[in-house]
Amino acid sequence: MIGEVQTKNNTIALSNVQNIAVTAVFIALTYVFTAFVNIRLPIMAKGGLVHLGNIPLFIAAILFGWKVGMIAGGVGMALFDLTSGWVSWAPFTLIVVGMMGFAVGKISGNKNSYARNLTAVLVALVIKVVGYYITEWILYGNMFTPASSIPGNIVQVAVAGIVVLPISVRLGKAAKNIFDKE
């Protein structure tokens, strides 16, 4: 069982083909939501960016588990970095956002509940803030400059949480209906 749809009462196994297709779709969605639904911030070094790429990342991890969330988030956002001129950020993004997808998928587990999903999003927030703080410290060689990106990172995760949390349990039920053909 490579990927699984997380529902309140049970887990649905995806076939390998379904898993590949779902992962590819969520990589694409994460890339698109990062690349095309964003606001560049003029106040930060290199401009900074607030985007909605965390929305498909959280949905992927909550509904389809940690593997899909980790791959879709990490690869989708790293592809954005590679194609937008922020190449030096790509390996860090792959790791930080991959860790976010892993954590959200593991914490939400196979019990898709509002409380677990909220906890997962809060843990993802901590991973994002700490991970990108360390990334910027490494890239800029200054431990003070990264502080300016913390508000943008908080906004990204908070907005994604506000969008995803109210619908995550219902999406889990819908995914179960789509993938459960027994």
Domains identified in the chain, total number: 1
CA distances from 47 to 143, 149, 176 (A): 18, 10, 41
Distance CA 49, CA 157 (A): 13
**Domain hosting residue 119, numbered range:** 4-179
Distance CA 93, CA 8 (A): 31
Task: Please give the average per-residue pLDDT across 89-109, as a whole number.
Answer: 97
Does position 101 have pLDDT exceeding 60, yes or no?
Answer: yes
Does position 14 have pLDDT exceeding 90, yes or no?
Answer: no
Q: Which residues contact 90 (CB under 8 A, 6 or more apart)?
A: 78, 79, 81, 82
Q: What is the pLDDT of residue 63?
A: 92
- The 10s digit of each residue's pLDDT in 160-173 is 999 999 999 889 88
Q: Which of 28-42, 80-94, 141-155 has the highest mean pLDDT?
A: 80-94
Q: What is the pLDDT of residue 10?
A: 40
Confidence grade of residue 13 (pLDDT, cut at 50, 70, 90): low
Proportion of the chain above pLDDT 70, given as a percent: 87
Q: What is the pLDDT of residue 182?
A: 46
Q: What is the mean pLDDT of the chain?
A: 88
More confident residue, 152 or 162: 162
More confident residue, 42 or 95: 95
Confidence grade of residue 1 (pLDDT, cut at 50, 70, 90): very low
Proportion of the chain above pLDDT 90, given as a percent: 65
Answer whether 66's CB lies under 8 Å from 98's CB.
no
Domain containing residue 82: CATH number: 1.10.1760.20
Token pair of 34 as six digits: 């990062």
SS3 category, 108: helix
Q: What is the pLDDT of residue 48?
A: 65
Place of tokens 């949390």: 165
Token pair of 142 as six digits: 């200054």
